[in-house]
Structure 1
């Protein structure tokens, strides 16, 4: 039976390490274990795994320091790290994500939840690697093969986006609808097919960074706390980090990075102003806001098309590009989009 993936499990407590290792091996994973940060680092360098499960509270070298060292090594930097720890405070999670971790599982954990997160991040890692290989292959592919390659690339991008929606069922289909609406806006603006293709792909993965946001925050029905909002706001930067090493023929990673920026500099993550934003990002921004308001969210029911129209019109030229708003409003008024 083929292995489901290679994992390095790190925990200084023998009983916890054995439990974790047994669960993963029963699920078909090839697991190596380490009880100290130094041993884990050597093991990862000698044979890089596909995923690292890492405890935080360990003597000599704690999990945060080990994560920092792992991410500082070029050959290990892209390996996803999941913290498995009894620490559950939001501040610890913020620190872990800042160091490059992709997820956080709190002890005591449920077996099925642990395996679901492990499976998701290994599949995401493989998809990302596959995309990198495909994009590199594109430059060496004959022109007549390009359409087939782009179709395969879009399929892989769609699978990448689906990983997010598996963890956030309330927004299932959100990225696809944003992509379709953004493409419609771009066509009405008369943009060339090259730009439209980039907008289509960026729309499909604009929220891919939410793969690093804990599921309990994504689906929280009430208002988010300050630290929780900080984690949510990291998703555009996380998306950029996931996509930036893939050599797309379009600025997909930059579009994803900028889709929450606003013309007056009030957006995030960098507070860019109008002339610093890509046109493609301005289009995705309007499509994203309109779709989010028109559909259901865990913290509120759908507000509807009229509310979406009011929002983008009220802030036309202030938060959102005027030309984009005018076309988006005209399209929404037809009743053919986001209904």
Structure 2
């Protein structure tokens, strides 16, 4: 039955039986289904054999007859919990491998962008770091922070659809060029919308240029319509944009960045995230080498 119908969470065997003992039976079950929890129930108080079996890891519990209902039920419950714990560990390992694979995939996308526009790739890496630090300060859960970090790593991936001449234009963009630039968040979200990661990566990418007062793009969303992770990424994106050299200007510096953040705090950008970002700048946890 174990060979053909597994998995069984728990197997309880008598000790003395025809053909083989309970310990021998459970040892064979261990070979066939190592995750099945194994217990011996016996009226033969052969403690040396029982202790040896427990110490070898062949047996989870040793129950003696007569075994009352409560004791048996308690042992069975513990056995099922042990089995479920082992399954959870395996599931976490699988999830971790999937996450590692996802990050490798995202890194491949970054490399693709880097070939066309080295600035954009570096910008996404820096913004992911800033967004993660802000998210930690505002108290997001570790799982949501991880989703935000991964989304931030590729938030400008849609720029692969923008001509490099526009991305690297040294002067001010005209209306048509800026309209084309504004499509990158939509393109980026479409790349990831069919990827089932458990995190709203596509939505974060789509919304990272939305603003609380409705002045953002592509959909002009307001306040609570914008995901909190998207609001955090928006602040991180602004910080990196002002603090770094752009094709059309040099960095504006720490003071100007803080002034601009203060001006937008609670109006177009999330106030709590802005305060966290300003603290990161003032304490030089980010951009230590930029004044």
Which of 284, 292, 300 lines up with 2:249 in the alignment?
300
The DSSP-based 3-state class of the residue aligned with 1:173 is helix
Moved over 4 A (4+): none
Q: Post-superposition shift, 1:308? A: 1.4
* Alignment partner, residue 227 of structure 2: 278
Superposed CA deviations along residues 196-249 of structure 1, whole A, max 9, x for unmatched, are: 011100100100000100011111111111111111000001101111111121
The DSSP-based 3-state class of the residue aligned with 1:142 is helix
Superposed CA deviations along residues 240-295 of structure 1, whole A, max 9, x for unmatched, are: 11111111210000000000000000000010001100000000000000001000
* Alignment partner, residue 248 of structure 1: 197
* Alignment partner, residue 237 of structure 2: 288
Cα separation, 2, equivalents of 1:311 and 1:162: 31
Verify the 8 A CA contact 1:221 1:299 in the aligned structure 2. yes
Q: Post-superposition shift, 1:194? A: 1.1
Cα separation, 1, equivalents of 2:152 and 2:287: 14
Superposed CA deviations along residues 95-114 of structure 1, whole A, max 9, x for unmatched, are: xxxxxxxxxxxxxxxxxxxx
Which of 256, 260, 279 lines up with 1:311 in the alignment?
260
* Alignment partner, residue 169 of structure 1: 118
The DSSP-based 3-state class of the residue aligned with 2:147 is helix
Cα separation, 2, equivalents of 1:206 and 1:170: 13
2:146 counterpart of 1:197 = yes
Cα separation, 2, equivalents of 1:276 and 1:308: 26
Cα separation, 2, equivalents of 1:186 and 1:246: 23
Which of 265, 278, 297 lines up with 2:214 in the alignment?
265
Verify the 8 A CA contact 2:151 2:205 in the aligned structure 1. yes
* Alignment partner, residue 146 of structure 1: 95
Cα separation, 2, equivalents of 1:310 and 1:197: 29
The DSSP-based 3-state class of the residue aligned with 2:220 is coil
The DSSP-based 3-state class of the residue aligned with 2:198 is coil
* Alignment partner, residue 214 of structure 1: 163
Cα separation, 1, equivalents of 2:213 and 2:198: 29
Which of 169, 177, 193 lines up with 1:228 in the alignment?
177
Q: Post-superposition shift, 1:335? A: 0.8
Of structures 1 and 2, the larger Rg is shown by 2
Cα separation, 2, equivalents of 1:270 and 1:148: 35
* Alignment partner, residue 51 of structure 1: none
Q: Provide the TM-score with structure 2 as the length reference.
A: 0.66
Cα separation, 2, equivalents of 1:252 and 1:172: 17
Which of 273, 279, 283 lines up with 1:330 in the alignment?
279
